[in-house]
Chain A
């Protein structure tokens, strides 16, 4: 792994494209992206405060953000690692229950009231962030327990074993109170009394952090190893990649972020029932990833957005909306089986670099050499899928 050249282009700088091409330094890239994210967050918050987005729309937006985190985190296991886990809802429920039980108990102990979560006092914020991390850790522990035996299997077998584990988690949530002898998850009646701590800023702040962490992980040595396993596991193992370790790592990271999303979900809805985290929830998330394109973060985010807003936008035609939803899926799968975006990923810096180099799609012939290198690499990455 001492090789410095990327195995697959994740966009941008072809090292061999000659000195003439002007590039952005890394700190500038991060700074630009951070500023854009901040501007979008502040803009959104201002629109909500100003009443341009009413509470119905902002609640739907929060759900969009939660599904983006879920889809992007599942994308690590399906798109980057190339496995097919069907138990994402199980991790989500671990995170949701872990986070809400932690927050309920700690806020009781510290005397933080339900009002504080809505107004967002610093103490409440600390409790919420700690709760989300605890939720993520709960899910990650479940991910380790499930991942170690499950990742010895491949394909259909892995799908079935993860499905079974998610069901186990759900049934445990349902019955653990009777076993422990005290109230923990609330069983079938559900866990209530969760303060409504999710807000637009918190959810989309988490979206930004999660996307950033996943992006940097995939660009690091560890991410490259995960991609190598996806492309050819035997070859990866032969070159010295510890496949068991990296498969488990990807799986656990995926579970961790699903847990964070679960915590946000709990804060958004305010009541948790094990029945919500059934098999269909896992499928729903998987559909988002497959529709958006396995291996594309932007694709996952876009399809999570569309598939969350679509049923809401079609609410007026309530009887037909599920049909419309299904038809969209069928059409996309027939005409674009690799998903809407394939494995293409969006990079703002790449676009800025193209502008800096006067390298526009319509002026392709003038800037032929530099552009072809960058383009060619992406196309080949796309074709491999």
Chain B
């Protein structure tokens, strides 16, 4: 009977069908409003958001895995106050607009009581601004920009900021007695520039001379000219505050030029050796130190147990971001426990405030160290200095307490 359908009629038909589907989709959105707090089924709804596709997906997925692992374990232990945690997961593709939409949807349509997210800085700032009006308790595993926690008292982070890492490394350099330090950072990256700036400031205050500050552009693979300049100033150490792909190339090229002194790094170094790929030769990684919240080499009890559990669940070694996702979930759960113990109605304003107060006042023994908040959304926590064995494996050089 469809033999005589012309193309025009087909197009009209399919357009109508598409429109109808779209309308049905929109109509469907309106249906979930009554879910507020998810208390009817006795479960507590918690949102997890992050970039699960696109350029930053490796961080987003790592945080997601960590957070989901924690909630799974918590549910297996009987949940909070006998209630199971029900995570709702949304992808925001690393885009601020999508992140705001995902946030609004979590709050308005799914009725979550707390959110683990967002993961990267830009989208997190957008979410933080939107969340102030709702007083929605949020814990970001990994957004390091200072702004994130300044909009309202409802936003917390599980990691330390970029500048804080720079200061930690400057103190470490002073402690090790380095007199002259050069830096090589990625131009146009807030992470790399932020660490570099704070490091230089703190180092100069501590009496260290910054001999050179070289930069390179996104996508560069040849760092020899910058390294020649740097090595010409004869530094005791070089700070390379970037992500592991670049760090690996820089270390290899510098060793190739005959530089055999110290490299300093920050948590972007995590995964430089022994992960999915080896970005630097094991022989070149001597005298490299970086600060990090978590390392699978850490021998503390909680960290070892986390590594075992994570490997059993996902059959891969957890990264720094997995641990931060796990801890962010733990921080949020701590707040939820406080609110549940007070016997408040999920979804009410008092409940949200109780969660926020619970997070602010509580101390959580996370896998990345003990996390406490002293009146701000920034955690006060210990950090690890990681170095490398001759075979490239990591070991914990030092634990810096607060």
Contacts and interface: CB of A to CB of B under 8 A. Distances in A.
Contacts of A314: 25
B108 A56 contact: yes
A276 B95 contact: yes
B126 A271 contact: yes
Given A60-B101, A318-B90, A336-B11, A271 B122 contact: yes
A335 B11 contact: yes
Interface string B118-162: 000110011001100000000000000101000000000000000
A56 B96 contact: no
A23 interface: no
B126 A269 contact: yes
Contact of A273 (B26, B30, B107, B122): B122
A313 B26 contact: yes
Interface stretch (B189-197, B248-256, B294-302, B367-375): B189-197
Most buried by B among A56, A63, A336: A56
Contacts of B187: 175
A188 B188 contact: yes
Nearest to A340: B15
B104 interface: yes
Contacts of B14: 331, 335
B86 interface: no
A340 B102 CA distance: 29
Interface residues on A, range: 35 or more
Interface in B356-400: none
Contacts of B283: none
A315 interface: yes
B33 interface: yes
A314 B28 CA distance: 10
B116 to A, nearest CB: 17
Count class of interface residues, chain B: 35 or more
B22 A306 contact: yes
B29 interface: yes
A271 B98 CA distance: 13
A270 B125 contact: yes
A190 B125 contact: yes
A273 to B, nearest CB: 4
Contact of A189 (B90, B98, B190): B190
B107 A56 contact: yes
B18 interface: yes
B216 interface: no
B28 A312 contact: no
Contact of B96 (A59, A188, A269, A306): A269
B91 interface: yes
Interface in A166-214: 174-175, 187-190, 192-193, 196
Given A192-B147, A269-B97, A313-B26, A56 B105 contact: yes
A190 B7 CA distance: 48
DSSP majority for the A interface?
A: helix
A269 B190 contact: no
A309 interface: yes
A253 to B, nearest CB: 25
Given A188-B193, A271-B126, A318 B52 contact: yes
A328 interface: yes
Contacts of B33: 54
A144 to B, nearest CB: 27
Given A63-B97, A318-B52, A55 B125 contact: no
A59 B98 CA distance: 11
B309 interface: no
A57 interface: yes
B93 to A, nearest CB: 9
Contacts of A328: 18
B22 A270 contact: no
B188 A192 contact: no
Contact of B100 (A59, A188, A306, A315): A59
A55 B122 contact: no
Nearest to A52: B30
A70 B105 CA distance: 24
Contacts of B28: 313
A240 B83 CA distance: 78
Contacts of A322: 53
A175 B187 CA distance: 9
Give 5 closest A-B pairs by Cβ, nearest first: A313-B25, A189-B190, A56-B104, A56-B108, A270-B129
Interface of B: 7, 10-11, 14-15, 18-19, 22, 25-26, 28-30, 33, 52-53, 90-91, 95-98, 100-102, 104-105, 107-109, 121-122, 125-126, 129-130, 145, 147, 187-190, 193-194
Given A54-B30, A312-B101, A313-B22, 8 more contacts: A56-B104, A187-B190, A189-B190, A268-B97, A271-B126, A273-B122, A306-B22, A315-B102
